[in-house]
Amino acid sequence: MTPMLGRWLAMCVQLTYTRYIVASVAALATDVAIFMGLLSGGMEPAAASAIGYVCGIAVHWILSSRAVFTTVGYATTRHRQRALFVGSALVGLGLTTAIVGVGHAMGLDPRLAKIAAIAVSFHVTYLLRKTIVFA
């Protein structure tokens, strides 16, 4: 690896948004794998989406609280953070479930509805976590 590439990668790792994207990819992989498995097993799309999202959010909490938003004091704010994180997750869960449920009811392929839900909930929850949860 060239020194310039190494410096660029180090800078990216230091950026909160970049770390958030990496955590989101790991959480998304968990979410989508569970969603697709449940969907292929015949579960209702909105329910499969909700279960996948909840599993993904558990992965996201672990990564966000330990690797993304690392400047927040650990001991003094942990319970408050957790409560606010759960609140932001509930907002994302509501958006995801509603978008997939409405999309499916309109005849849209549930996988396409899930993609739309991912795009919307990603940005909404990032803003909530950046400005409220880990502020």
94 pLDDT above the threshold of 90 = yes
Task: Give Dmax (Cα) for the chain.
Answer: 53
- Residue 48 CA to residue 110 CA, distance in Å, equals 10
Domain boundaries, the chain: 16-133
Q: How far apart are CA 115 and CA 99, in angstroms?
A: 10
The residue that leads in pLDDT, 75 or 134, is 134
Q: What is the pLDDT of residue 34?
A: 97
16 vs 41, residue with greater confidence: 41
Taking the CA atoms of residue 77, residue 67, residue 28 and residue 89 in that order, the dihedral angle to the nearest 10 degrees is 10
C-beta atoms surrounding 60 within 10 Å: 26
Compute the Cα dihedral for 101, 105, 106, 109 and give only its sign: positive
- pLDDT at residue 81 in the model: 81
Q: Which amino acid is at 83?
A: A
Please name the residues in contact with 45: beta carbons below 8 A apart, sequence gap of 6 or more: 39, 100, 101, 104, 110, 113, 114
Which pLDDT does position 47 carry in this prediction?
95
Q: Name the pTM for this structure.
A: 0.75
> Comparing 1-5, 50-54, 75-79, 92-96, which segment has the lowest mean pLDDT?
75-79
Q: Is residue 86 within 8 Å of 120, Cβ to Cβ?
A: no
Q: 28 pLDDT band (50/70/90 cuts)?
A: very high
Residue 61 confidence (pLDDT) above 70: yes
